[in-house]
Amino acid sequence: MHKFVIVGGKRLEGTIRVSGAKNATLPIMAASLLSSSKSNLAEIPQLEDVRVMLYLLEYLGAKVQRDQDRVTIDSGQVKPLEVTEELMRKMRASNLIMGPLLSRFGYVRVSHPGGCAIGSRPMDLHLKGFRALGAKITERYGYIVAECEKLTGAEIHLDFPSVGATENLMMAAALARGQTVIRNAAKEPEIVDLQNFLNGMGANIKGAGTDAIKIQGVTGLGPVEHMVIPDRIEAGTHMLAAAITNGDITITNIIPEHVEPVVAKLKEAGITIIDGDDWIRVVGNGIIKAVDLKTMPYPGFPTDMQAQMMALMTIAQGTSVVSESIFENRFKQIAELRRMGADIKLEGRAAIIKGVPKLSGAFVEATDLRAGAAMVLAGLAAEDVTVVENIHHIDRGYERLEAKYRGVGAKIMRVNKN
């Protein structure tokens, strides 16, 4: 197991380029299963989760070629093989193959993806939507089977604007007979990127980015070239790296609108932000004001930035309240931050953080992807040395994180745990 060793207290200064978005890449790769042609993708990040998804596609019979950030997926020989528990448990987003396989082949059998560190993560909204499109769903022995000769378009109202359910249902409806409308749909930028990819294949989808998405089913989909959008969560993490080290970092390859919720919160905390057209500069000015935040679906404050923002608040002036409304168990970083001297009390789904002057280095662990990122940020700010264990969680969602932070002056190295 690898770990990061971080010598904190360095002001980070310089420029970091953001990689392509993990949470756009994964649904788009799943969507490539819908056609029997080639999908040529660019700006694909080199992440563990992306490797897992490509492995899954190859397992199903796709031919995959990869050259740095460019990936070609040929789904001509794909079959709806049963996806075993071992494969499904590697990554929750494996469930995104259901919509495409059901829509193209009329059948899909997967092991229930199961929960993960941040919550139970059921699939009821996905399955309810598949049923609305005419699929017969059988759940037995930990497996889910969805089958239907030909899906038929329907009106689907999501009880919650689930990102994955919205994506799965867009993909299922793409080849269904007639029109589907998904109401109370998730509005994340990654949904818009998926719509653009699907329409590039010849789908007929409108409304992504709003809470009503209209999909006119088509008879077939073809080849497509697509560049995925930059990763707004990676960008937000780097913005906090500048703020927490009182540094000065210019983050390039961003779409300003996508990072607006985080920018607004940082400005509220007194951080200096200079906006560019595809870059943003974050300058620490010695002041970090305590701010309250509640995670919400986009365009609210993103749950994927909650842990990182909590790390910043541990050294803010004053007391902040952080509420997590999306996942039921996404505060695993609290115990680790406390080991570094943070003063955090947990009351239900709200954490009360009383700012302390400084964090101190400690042995801590990454409990999940974003909590791991929070621990790196805390280590960068803390005095002396912090060791972050189990960084395979971090490698799932951040490409060469230590190299990016070394590039702006951090003393951080990856070591193999002996």
Contacting positions for ligand EPZ (CB under 6 A)? 22-23, 26, 92-93, 119, 121-126, 160, 162-165, 186, 303-304, 326-327, 369-370, 397
As a whole number of angstroms, the distance between CA 324 and CA 307 comes to 10
185 vs 408, beta carbon nearer ligand EPZ: 185
The minimum distance between CB 125 and ligand EPZ, in angstroms, equals 3
261 vs 361, beta carbon nearer ligand EPZ: 261
| Cα–Cα nearest to 78, from 108, 48, 51 | 108
CA quadruple 278, 283, 284, 286: dihedral sign: negative
The minimum distance between CB 119 and ligand EPZ, in angstroms, equals 5
In this structure, the number of other CB atoms found within 10 A of the CB of residue 53 comes to 27
Q: Which long-range contacts (CB under 8 A, 24 or more apart) does 340-344 make?
A: 340/314, 340/364, 340/378, 340/379, 340/382, 340/386, 342/314, 342/378, 343/314, 344/310, 344/314
Which entry of 52, 116, 227, 296 is annotated as an active-site residue? Answer: 116
Q: Which residue is nearest to ligand EPZ (CB)?
A: 164
32 vs 250, beta carbon nearer ligand EPZ: 32
The minimum distance between CB 203 and ligand EPZ, in angstroms, equals 19
DSSP annotation of 74:
E
88 vs 163, beta carbon nearer ligand EPZ: 163
Write the DSSP assignment of 287-299 as a string of letters. Answer: --B---EEB-STT
Dihedral angle over CA of 405, 238, 273, 266, nearest 10: -130
The minimum distance between CB 190 and ligand EPZ, in angstroms, equals 6
The minimum distance between CB 303 and ligand EPZ, in angstroms, equals 5
| Cα–Cα nearest to 82, from 92, 97, 93 | 97
The minimum distance between CB 28 and ligand EPZ, in angstroms, equals 11
Which residues are CB-contacts of 371 (< 8 A; sequence separation ≥ 6)?
A: 117, 307, 330, 332, 333, 336, 393
74 vs 234, beta carbon nearer ligand EPZ: 234
User: What is residue 165's three-state secondary structure?
Assistant: helix
26 vs 44, beta carbon nearer ligand EPZ: 26
- Cα–Cα distances (Å) from 187 to 52, 236, 283, in that order, read 26, 18, 30
Whether 116 is a known active-site residue: answer yes
Enumerate the active-site residues: 116
